[in-house]
Chain A
Amino acid sequence: MLRFILRRLLLTIPVLFGIVFVVFAVARLLPGDPCVAALQERATPQACAIFNVRYGLDQPIPNQFWIYLTDLARGDLGDSISQGRPVSEILVERLPLTLELTMVALTLATLFGILFGVISAARRNSAIDVATMVGANIGVSTPVFVLGLVLIWFFAVVLKDTPFVLPPGGRLTAGITVVPLADSWGLTEAQGLPRAIVDFFSNMYVFNSLITGQWEALGDAIRHLILPAVALATIPLSIIARMTRSSLLDVLGQDYIRTARAKGLGETLVVLRHGLRNAILPVVTVIGLSLGGLLAGAVLTESIFGLSGIGKMITEAVSSRDYAVVQGLTLVTALIYVTVNLVVDISYGFLDPRIRLQ
């Protein structure tokens, strides 16, 4: 098992290097002068000369790449040109929202996707099966931004005076705040990495308010998270449901399932323990792959629901030609994606012992 994990880790290294290179190249190819974009009317030749030295933009490109690599190795993602502060600081602020959103969406998609898929396969060709598959086809074809806007319209406008009304955007209702973890734990003096970690988790509002027992804020944060999470979860949910169904149907057609039924096992036991367990591998693959779609969908979801996560940040940085931020955010998104798929690959080894030995 250890050798299997090590081999997978080694195979990831060239891809990681490629990602870093592509990200660097993309940011350097951005048109327009970053100095002019950042300083605007104050961009005199003198100011720009100082600016370029400050951000290493006066160096030849290969040197810039080397500087970038060594900085990265120290966890330094450079400074945001438009905001004049480290990109890592912005990430600590913005990434938690996106992570919370994608994790909630992925959980919804996985739970309900597998649930619907199993019911569909177990009751093949029943009304439930047909309805689920029609729903899945429509779900996978509806753009995130269309679904998001329709959800807002339905829950914030149509249901306006009912108990089911949901907020059209934002993270919290005006007037409600979440106390930072650093305050509730008396860590306000902490600096550097420990403080960044505390702030990072503190900015996941649902997580923060849950563990510190701020119930009003928790309820409010959850109510704000429902619509974006549902909008974001619909496409992966549909894909997971379809994959679960077809994979489970394949397995349920095999001889050992007939044997299990013949020896008198209950249908639930047959489907869940004998069937699903062997059908889960392709489903896990799809779950890992759908994370890419989730991260991309987060860009649209955050834009629609006015959430300032990294998705919204990336579109803002692109218009202000903020090299370091575009680099940092693209890099982090790609790294999350690669890491999750690495975990998925490794989990095969646990789910199916045959794969370990190959």
Chain B
Amino acid sequence: MTSLPASANETVTARPANLWRDTLRNILRQRVAQVGLVLLGILVSMAVAAPLIATHDPTDTIGIDEGLLAPDAPPELKGPCIHLLGCSDERPQHFLGIDRNGRDVYSRVVYGSQVSLYIGFVTVGFAIVIGTLLGSVAGFAGGWPDNVIMRVMDVLLAFPALVLAIAIVTILDPGLLNAQLAIGIVAIPVYARVMRASVLSIKERDFIVASRALGESSGGILLRRILPNALTPLIVQGTLGVAGAILDVAALSFLGLGAQPPLAEWGSMIGLERNQLFSAPHLIIAPGVALSLTVLGFNLVGDGLRDALDPRLNR
């Protein structure tokens, strides 16, 4: 708390509590969350500034034009080459070398940040919208709709996520959008449960009864009274969910069921070059580190949000 007011005439009034301001302050106070925010900051700047910081077009097979993949070219030409660090000026500059199709790996890693952010938010967005809808209907209606919806969610949860996602992707045919859809479907039960729990805990409160007495429709109550109150757990779950979605879609892409080349997606980059592990490990380590740090960033911020929004810790 602040020190006592200098003048006795001033009344001691704290600023009214504001959830978002308090949350922000609480997050900034945690060192772990600070690290997460920095990582996400780097990720977002990388995605936004990709055309500026990338040295090449991520899908351009530039190495072929430069003769680096010619049969008589020595294999070390494919490795990293940075002029500032003493790589000879005659060699074309590729910060992280080129992949076996002659594409610049550094540029692909940079552009991969755009793809990952897109994957994370779109996939989780889909799961949240559907899950929230199902969860609210289940919680609000009760009775058999509740039973049917939640038992279906139980069955979905009974499968190991990736196994079910693989099965779904096979029905839909491999591809980035279908992989996202599969991971999104598998993630729905989590949000449905969170939303249902929130609805159940709120729907008997006096202010809901009052709204009903004032003639507000069920849809209006759900949208204007219940949803804002259920938002916090959804945001925490969603942030952690983005990490999970990026991880799982990358795993599908690694298996060849998600993003297809030449799209610069980290999981598929690793999957394509995995046989080069013994000769050119940087082709796997570079996108691997980028992927891990991205997931780490979302995980740390998600944990930080959970702690920050927990009223018990709000001192």
Contact = CB atoms under 8 A, between A and B. Distances in A.
Interface of A: 14-15, 18-19, 21-22, 26-27, 29-31, 133, 137-138, 140-146, 149-150, 152-153, 156-157, 292-293, 295-297, 299-300, 303-304, 314-315, 318, 326, 330, 333-334, 337-338
A56 to B, nearest CB: 20
A325 to B, nearest CB: 12
A19 B159 contact: yes
Given A141-B295, A337-B160, A149 B277 contact: yes
A326 B167 contact: yes
A318 B299 contact: no
Most buried by A among B162, B173, B270: B162
A26 B169 CA distance: 10
A337 B281 CA distance: 35
Nearest to B164: A330
A146 B277 contact: no
Interface string B256-299: 00000000000100110010011001001100100111011001
A292 B165 CA distance: 13
A296 B154 contact: no
A137 B302 CA distance: 12
A326 B152 contact: no
B12 interface: no
Q: What are the 10 tightest A-B residue pairs by CB atom distance, in nearest-first order?
A: A296-B162, A18-B155, A146-B288, A141-B296, A296-B160, A141-B295, A292-B160, A295-B160, A318-B170, A29-B171
B304 to A, nearest CB: 11
B151 A149 contact: no
Given A137-B32, A141-B299, 13 more contacts: A15-B151, A18-B151, A26-B164, A141-B247, A144-B251, A149-B274, A157-B277, A157-B281, A295-B160, A314-B166, A318-B166, A318-B170, A326-B170
Interface in B134-160: 151-152, 154-156, 158-160
B292 A26 contact: no
Nearest to B170: A318
A21 to B, nearest CB: 8
A145 B160 contact: no
Nearest to B296: A141
Contacts of A330: 159, 163-164, 167
Given A143-B250, A146-B284, A149-B284, A292 B292 contact: no
A275 B32 CA distance: 26
A143 B160 contact: no
Interface in B116-139: none
A318 B271 CA distance: 18
B296 A334 contact: no
B272 to A, nearest CB: 12
A293 B160 contact: yes
Given A295-B163, A330-B163, A146 B158 contact: no
Nearest to A289: B157
Contacts of A18: 151-152, 154-155, 158
Nearest to B248: A296
B254 interface: yes
B62 interface: no
B131 to A, nearest CB: 18
Contacts of B200: none
A153 B255 CA distance: 19
B171 A300 contact: no
Nearest to A153: B281
Interface in B220-260: 243, 247, 250-251, 254-255
Contacts of B195: none
Nearest to A158: B281
A323 B295 CA distance: 34
Contacts of A296: 160-163
B168 interface: yes
A28 to B, nearest CB: 9
B110 interface: no
A100 B285 CA distance: 29
A346 to B, nearest CB: 17
Contacts of B291: 143, 146
Given A18-B154, A18-B155, A26 B168 contact: yes
A292 B162 CA distance: 9
Contacts of A299: 162-163, 166, 255
Given A14-B151, A296-B162, A337-B160, A30 B171 contact: yes
B96 interface: no
Contact of A19 (B158, B293, B300): B158
B39 to A, nearest CB: 10
Contacts of A149: 270, 274, 277, 284, 288
A52 to B, nearest CB: 20
Contacts of A326: 167, 170
A145 B171 contact: no
Contact of A318 (B154, B167, B281, B293): B167
A153 B277 contact: yes
Nearest to A297: B162
Nearest to A321: B170
Interface in B2-56: 32
21 contacts: A15-B155, A15-B158, A19-B155, A19-B158, A138-B292, A141-B243, A141-B299, A143-B250, A143-B288, A143-B291, A145-B270, A150-B284, A150-B288, A153-B285, A292-B161, A293-B161, A295-B163, A296-B162, A314-B163, A318-B170, A333-B159
Contacts of B255: 299-300, 303, 315
A326 B163 CA distance: 10
Nearest to B297: A141
A334 B159 CA distance: 5
A297 B165 CA distance: 13
